[in-house]
Chains A and B, each alone.
Chain A
Amino acid sequence: MLSEDVLYLSTRELAEQIRSDKISPIELTESYIERSKRLGPKFNAYVTLTEDLALEQARAAEKEISAGHYRGPLHGIPYAAKDLLAVKGYKTTWGARPYADQAFDYNATVIERLSDAGAILIGKAAMIELAGGLGYEGAEASLTGACKNPWNTDYWTCGSSSGSGAIVAAGLANFALGSDTRGSIICPSTLCGISGMRPSFGRVSRFGVMAIAWSMDKIGPMARTADSCGLVLSAMAGHDPKDHDSLRPALASFSYEEMRGNSRPLRIGRLTNVFPYADPVLHSAVDDALKVLEQNGAEVSDAQLPEGPYEEAAELVILIEAASAFSELVQSGRCAQLEDSLGQINGYASLEFSAADLLQIQRVRVSLQEKIDALFDQFDVIAAPGEDTISIPLKPPPQPQQPQRARPRRQRRKPDSMQPDAISSLCGLPAVTVPCQFTKDGFPVGIQFMGRALEDDKVIAAANLFQAHTDWHTKHPKL
């Protein structure tokens, strides 16, 4: 079996080892599978290991590479996929008991594209039930139980791409796929101390992926570095006629290697009006990170998110679309089988929204898009803490009852608190989070970069610049 140091290499580093025949894809796959079997249960990281498929793909990769047919940087690289992506021959549970035996006879488009790139699927990652589509109150809201953070197993990974975060943080696969309707890649990536990316809306196909909110769902990579995310995004991006909201070919395609090397100084806006109630440690970590970027050529100045009901609009869109997406589950009463008490009833409440309200929200949404887009006339990217909390204990101290919302664990925030994930998710903006510090208690802290829609290259460039001059992304938990 390969050493832990190898299993924690970035995608590009591992790819170079494979391409130059220093590492065998079969040995690499077997090593990740052995580690996944040994450590995965400790974190409740997986729903299913796809060992047979993985070994078949690894043998094919090894044969092709040995014959000189190297497909590119994902060839022979093992990964995991959140269990809301359809994979032929395996269950796709959506993390939820009502769908525990569900299977599809086809692959999601992104699974096909990664297969075409030579990547090796080793398992289906655990997740919050229905990716939190009907709301949830805690980490236990999953078919496979609470996902534990490899940095401290008394704490949660965050959700809903919980297993994907744990898998990458624990070195169980080289990268993982997550989904992000509102923060479900950014939050677990931040709390797990890894790099995670939410691409621009419409750039990556959702065909074969469980829907929560069709106008907000995105699929993205979670990996060791932002550079790794760029490599994975390159393989996944592109128009797909099977996805109603897929961008047209010229916009959807993303060629990461072509855009690398752009040397113009990045203009970074440091958001000063977000997360006002967050631990000051989070803000000072971002300030320190921005100093590193400034010292290495970036131009940093203060920026402010424009005012608007972003938080409310984002939540309402999700609630209304999810009530429709899961209407059969709600109306049949099978939502009672969900683990979470809020998830069991939230759909009933959401069916009460009117069409007039939905249209009002969607009309306001356009004006909010224009407001945030104008900010990017001044900045290439805007930066903020990756999350508004350092860590989330699995068993939080009892609190007085609060108003409930979808995914309230992450949303017990002051009503007037500006949430960058609300605005960027609502408007389909790309974002990358990368680790930028650790607290004295050993919890990772992240910085996120958000960019104008379709300028995914710039958020990766900002994160790349930071990671080129720091080593936070090389840290991993002692397991």
Chain B
Amino acid sequence: MKLWTDVASIVMIWAVLREVGTPDRVFSENGEPMKEKKTQPAESNGFGRREFGQRAALALTGAALAGTPLAGLSHDVAVVPLAAVPEQDQNAGGLSAQAQAEVELKVQHVIATYGSRLNDDQKKMIRRTISEHVRMLEAVRPITVGNGDAPATVLKLVERKTPQGKE
């Protein structure tokens, strides 16, 4: 199970970080691209195997730490010490210590994953944004729901997309 988690993490991280182009696409009705022309993105995210290995190792370090209880949080997120993470600003004010710790954890994870794409102002904005996200979550999390209270998401059975007799 642990091995699978690690392999899955590598695959996921590779999928996230691999270089992608900017396609001019025409989509068909079933959502498949009919033609695709790849062009180089303005800011290439490409990197070699060596760098991929380094990034994956960094992320897996975080993944290994994710199981460590931190301030009672249940989220599985990477904890990577980063000097580049901007200091906490005043927008975290009003959040509980637990919520602030959650903000910190999430900010660090974003910076670890996407930091190379972000400048200092954007990193500050990430912190403000995540602080706001956590503030909103704090309003919803305490509401008690019972075991039988199902979410507003449903699985719909597959429906015939063409009228009977017209296939």
Contacts and interface: CB of A to CB of B under 8 A. Distances in A.
Do A and B truly interact?
yes
Interface of A: 98, 101-106, 135, 215, 241-242, 244-245, 309, 311-313, 315-316, 319, 331-334, 336-337, 341-342, 344-346, 348-354, 356-357, 359-367, 369, 401, 403-405
14 contacts: A309-B139, A312-B139, A313-B140, A316-B137, A336-B43, A349-B106, A354-B74, A354-B75, A359-B151, A362-B152, A365-B151, A367-B145, A404-B128, A405-B132
B79 interface: no
Contact of A352 (B109, B122, B139): B109
A472 to B, nearest CB: 36
Nearest to B31: A104
Contacts of A337: 22, 42
A345 B22 CA distance: 18
Contact of B118 (A103, A106, A345, A364): A345
B126 interface: yes
B140 A348 contact: no
B129 A342 contact: yes
Contacts of B106: 349, 352
A360 B145 contact: yes
Given A334-B20, A367-B143, 7 more contacts: A102-B27, A103-B27, A215-B152, A349-B133, A352-B109, A356-B74, A367-B149
Given A101-B24, A404-B128, A350 B117 contact: no
Contact of B130 (A352, A360, A361): A352
B77 interface: yes
Nearest to B15: A331
A403 B140 contact: no
A364 B91 contact: no
B60 interface: no
A333 B161 CA distance: 35
B143 A364 contact: yes
Given A349-B106, A403-B91, A215 B153 contact: yes
A362 B129 contact: no
B145 A336 contact: no
For the complex of A and B, 4 pairs with smallest distance between CB atoms: A362-B151, A312-B136, A309-B139, A332-B20
Contact of A349 (B75, B77, B126): B126
Given A242-B161, A360-B140, A405-B132, A341 B151 contact: no
A311 B136 CA distance: 8
A311 to B, nearest CB: 8
A350 B133 contact: yes
Interface of B: 15-16, 20, 22, 24-29, 34, 41-43, 45, 74-77, 91, 106, 109-110, 113-114, 117-118, 121-122, 125-126, 128-133, 135-137, 139-141, 143, 145, 149-153, 156, 159-161
B28 A105 contact: yes
B55 to A, nearest CB: 14
B99 to A, nearest CB: 13
Interface centre among B26, B41, B136 (most CB of A within 10 A): B136
Contact of A333 (B24, B25, B117): B117
Contacts of A365: 151-152
B132 A336 contact: no
Contact of A366 (B109, B122, B136, B151): B151
Contacts of B26: 102-105
A362 B77 contact: no
Contact of A363 (B43, B109, B129, B150): B150
Contacts of A353: 133, 137
Interface centre among A245, A345, A351 (most CB of B within 10 A): A345
A312 B41 contact: no
Nearest to A207: B29
Given A316-B136, A333-B43, A357 B141 contact: yes
A345 B129 contact: yes
Given A345-B126, A349-B126, A241 B109 contact: no
